[in-house]
Amino acid sequence: MADNELTRISRKSQYLPNDITLDTPAEPEKLLHPSLRKSIKYCEESSPNDIENIESQNGYRIFTDGSKHDEKEIANPNSYNSLVVVIHKILHQCQTKNLSIKLLWVKGHSGIPGNETADLAAKSAATSHRAYDFTQFPMSYIRHINSQRTAAEMKSFYSQNNQSIYTKYLLPTYEDLTKFTQLLKPNFAMTQFLSNHGYHKEYLHRFKITYDDKCPCDSSSIQSMAHLVQRCPVFSRTRANHEIACTLLKIKPYDMTEIISKESSVESFKNHITHIVNNLKNLNGSR
């Protein structure tokens, strides 16, 4: 994305004050030797009771309610982020001195006393007009903000764009569409199904490519995508497999938002669509 590049070049971000600049990645020799690198594991403890249990154990514990995104960066033993490199070094030093350090993730604003105290301290620091202790941001932060913005833009494009009426009928929200394409991996067959642009005669006839729009199965039904998927007897075998799978799962076999909620219905539906698309040319060319 253009903004990522711009940030990389200018070392500043439109989302942050000008005196906060892009973090310079650590030089490779600053990282721990590869044989000493370990990924950091966070324990998740969220209820006050869990915390009490943990507090009764030996060793040091560091609690955080930070974002999962930051945690991922901190956990990465090969990160070049200058702060993360320092964290890994400190943890390694503690380990060589047999100091046990546990990192724990807690849910913020959920009444955990230590967490509330830390929140108050952070609030007072933010209003104290003190200079920042650390004035650099990592590139991953900007990439994260920009990918969230892109998703939001795509979402509003999908809800306002009239060209995808058919797709929207199948998958009403952008989240549904994203989930669908992630689960089914867009291949030739799925794209035809999703866009309603394919070798089915209703579509071909609209562009005067075929003489009529009737399905050869009975020469009277319009060969729409819905006919092929839900009714055409030629594809009854893969349809039955899909419908049985959906009956067992207690979901509606042609409701896309329900199909994408279960792995086995996704699989049976994908088989059905792929079978139809792969055999459609043959079916239409045979009569």
Positions that interact with Zn ion (CB under 5 A): 215, 217, 232
Structure token pair of residue 26: 């650590």
- Of the candidates 266, 11, 50, 277, which has an alpha carbon nearest to the alpha carbon of residue 135? 11
- Shortest Å, Cβ 249 to Zn ion: 26
Indicate the residue among 22 and 232 with the shorter CB distance to Zn ion: 232
- Shortest Å, Cβ 2 to Zn ion: 48
Which secondary structure element, helix H or strand E, spans residue 61, and what is its range?
Answer: strand 60-64
Indicate the residue among 142 and 217 with the shorter CB distance to Zn ion: 217
| 231 CB burial (10 A radius; 0-12, 13-18, 19+) | middle
Please list, in sequence order, all residues whose beta carbon lies within 8 angstroms of the beta carbon of residue 216, skipping any fewer than 6 positions away.
223, 283, 284, 286, 287
Distance CA 6, CA 12 (A): 8
Tokens 């253009």 sit at which residue?
2
Tokens 């060969």 sit at which residue?
223
Indicate the residue among 74 and 215 with the shorter CB distance to Zn ion: 215
- Shortest Å, Cβ 281 to Zn ion: 14
Indicate the residue among 17 and 233 with the shorter CB distance to Zn ion: 233
Side chain identity at 274, as an amino acid letter?
T
- Shortest Å, Cβ 192 to Zn ion: 16
Indicate the residue among 88 and 201 with the shorter CB distance to Zn ion: 201
- Shortest Å, Cβ 221 to Zn ion: 6
